[in-house]
Chains A and B, each alone.
Chain A
Amino acid sequence: MQITIPTTSRHPTSDGLLSTPTSSSEFALIEVQGAVESAGGVSLGGASLGLVEFDEGTPTLIIGRHKLRGKMETLKLPLAVLRQEPGSNTDLLCVIKYKYIFSDRPVPILSEANVGLAQLAKQKR
């Protein structure tokens, strides 16, 4: 059996970086510690994972009530992204050269509306 993977139809500019106002990138790669799970094992389909914000170039990932600071890294060896369609073609989508890695300990965050609630609880006791 031989499966031919064309490399010519790949996204030539998609190197793993997230889009910026001046450049758009089709694919990106994010590395997080552990695994992402939904509470109660509900399907993740359609669910929002979170946000990435850039603070003076430093990427920050916000998932639920956690905030993770990260950094952009150049991969030692590039990664080709293959997409296999069962019983059909295998495509090389792009070659990724960078990734965003979020390996710091998550910092809990409070939304505006909840600020002060912890103090309130203290006073009650």
Chain B
Amino acid sequence: MTITLQYPHTNPNEPQYRYRLIQLPPEVAQLIDNGKADTLTIRGLEADDAVITTDSATYALKEVQTSNTLLLLQHSTATTAHPILLEEDDDMMNDLDNENYSVSASLFSYIDLERVVPKATDQLIQLLTPSTYHGPHKEQKRMQGGAGSDAILYSWDELGGIVQASRMELKSALDTVGAVELEGSFRLISPTFLNEFIQLFVASCDIDEKDISALTEEDALQMMAEHDIPEAVVLHCMHLMSDEVEIGAGIYKLSAQKICRATGTEVLMQVKHKTTLSNFMKEWKKVTPSAFEVSLEYLQGLYLLEENSAMHQEIKYFPKSKLPPIAKDRLEQLFQVRRKWASADIMPYIQDLAENKKKLDLLLLKYTRLSKVGDQVYYSSRF
């Protein structure tokens, strides 16, 4: 059997195709093989390094140069007998086993895919903060050209073109930042408005004698009908402050954890520098509906405790969302705030840096120094 290789004739009418080889990680190859991935998507703005996403994962592109030449061949039906065959080998001329391939491309590199954790939540906070929903009154003013009227609104498709994350990762990041889809655009809910809503909602439950551990969406819409808040926002806020008791049944129970975290965030954000823990707890209790018991564990990843000279514990607002998204930068900043972190204290601030515990441990190994006092693990800076 003989295969004839030929460069294609340059045809000005044919588009100038560009060929690329992409090395597929096993899980991506498998998705394509099984027909589970109908599409791959290249995402990013011009200034970004492009990424490729499947439905659920994001991969960074890295070009790898090869020392050898890779010739991509495409089967061609045109029968062009090779001169050598004509002159020298009469047998081969009649050889039906002769196949023709044309050289579509000579390549000197391929693209390697590396799984990455997208910085979607940080990017979403940046994009969506200017258009935050602050309640019906401010929303009306915004519509009439007041504060926030020049903020850009983003639809699902528009976010997909900017945020370098897969569809599922983008969806989960939108959940994490608590964004609501309002008239086709994704909006953040201001913590102040969420608190007003919680007070109103819990008070309404009280007045209407509703069972706060068995509420329906219908109940919520009915109770909040007079407040001129869009239905999508009412339902979203209700979800932000409750847990669905039985998935799919549409029965919700107000969550102490979610409500206390919302009220606590609001109080923490108003603390100028720091305040004593006892002051804070008193204030927090005051703004939280009495049906719910406040507890510091609800505020994980939002505060730091320090001991002052009089041995009083002081608390300050220290939200994870304000830290840099890159692992090295974030750890550097954390070690500027504290030279040594107990494992339990630092975890809320670094957990999202890696996709699993093993990779997180590798990051910590690379950027931190580990020490032990008894059973307690501490991390300090490597630099």
Contact of A79 among B17, B24, B38, B80 (CB under 8 A): B24
A86 touching B18 by the CB < 8 A rule?
A: yes
* List of A residues within 8 angstroms of B88 by Cβ: 111-113
* List of B residues within 8 angstroms of A33 by Cβ: 67-69
Contact of A80 among B16, B22, B39, B44 (CB under 8 A): B22
A32 touching B69 by the CB < 8 A rule?
A: yes
> Is residue B4 contacting chain A, with contact meaning CB distance below 8 A?
yes
Binds A, one of B29-37, B268-276, B279-287, B364-372: B29-37
Q: How many residues of B contact A (CB 8 A)?
A: 60
* List of B residues within 8 angstroms of A117 by Cβ: none
* List of A residues within 8 angstroms of B43 by Cβ: 1-3
> Is residue A72 contacting chain B, with contact meaning CB distance below 8 A?
no
B21 touching A47 by the CB < 8 A rule?
A: no
A28 touching B73 by the CB < 8 A rule?
A: yes
A49 touching B35 by the CB < 8 A rule?
A: no
Q: How many residues of A contact B (CB 8 A)?
A: 59
**CA distance in complex: A28, B5 (Å):** 11
A31 touching B73 by the CB < 8 A rule?
A: no
A86 touching B106 by the CB < 8 A rule?
A: no
B41 touching A5 by the CB < 8 A rule?
A: yes
> Is residue B13 contacting chain A, with contact meaning CB distance below 8 A?
no
A85 touching B40 by the CB < 8 A rule?
A: no
Say how far A1's CB is from chain B's closest CB, in angstroms. 5
A2 touching B161 by the CB < 8 A rule?
A: yes
A81 touching B40 by the CB < 8 A rule?
A: no
Per-residue CB contact flags for chain A residues 90-118 toward chain B (1 = under 8 Å, else 0) read 10100110010101000000011100000
> Is residue B311 contacting chain A, with contact meaning CB distance below 8 A?
no
> Is residue B19 contacting chain A, with contact meaning CB distance below 8 A?
yes
Chain A residues numbered 1-31 whose CB sits less than 8 Å from any CB in chain B: 1-8, 10, 18-21, 24-31
**CA distance in complex: A2, B159 (Å):** 10
Closest to A83 in B: B17
> Is residue A35 contacting chain B, with contact meaning CB distance below 8 A?
yes
B99 touching A19 by the CB < 8 A rule?
A: yes
> Is residue B337 contacting chain A, with contact meaning CB distance below 8 A?
no
* List of B residues within 8 angstroms of A10 by Cβ: 32
**CA distance in complex: A82, B103 (Å):** 15
B73 touching A111 by the CB < 8 A rule?
A: no
* List of B residues within 8 angstroms of A2 by Cβ: 41-43, 160-161
A31 touching B68 by the CB < 8 A rule?
A: yes
B71 touching A31 by the CB < 8 A rule?
A: yes
Contact of B4 among A27, A51, A78, A90 (CB under 8 A): A51
> Is residue A41 contacting chain B, with contact meaning CB distance below 8 A?
no
> Is residue A36 contacting chain B, with contact meaning CB distance below 8 A?
yes
Contact of A84 among B20, B67, B103, B108 (CB under 8 A): B20
**CA distance in complex: A82, B39 (Å):** 12
B44 touching A1 by the CB < 8 A rule?
A: yes
Contact of B1 among A54, A80, A96 (CB under 8 A): A54
A46 touching B9 by the CB < 8 A rule?
A: yes
Closest to A31 in B: B68
**CA distance in complex: A25, B39 (Å):** 23
Chain B positions near chain A (C-beta within 8 angstroms): 1-10, 15-26, 29, 32-33, 35, 37-46, 67-75, 80, 82-84, 88, 96-97, 99, 101, 103, 106, 108, 110, 160-161
- Other than the given A27-B75, A28-B73, 10 more pairs (CB < 8 A) read A2-B160, A7-B40, A18-B101, A35-B69, A48-B4, A79-B24, A81-B20, A84-B18, A85-B15, A92-B32
Q: 4 closest A-B pairs (Cβ-Cβ)?
A: A45-B10, A52-B3, A49-B5, A46-B9
Return 8 A-B CB contacts under 8 Å, by A number. A1-B45, A5-B40, A45-B7, A48-B82, A53-B2, A77-B26, A85-B18, A86-B16
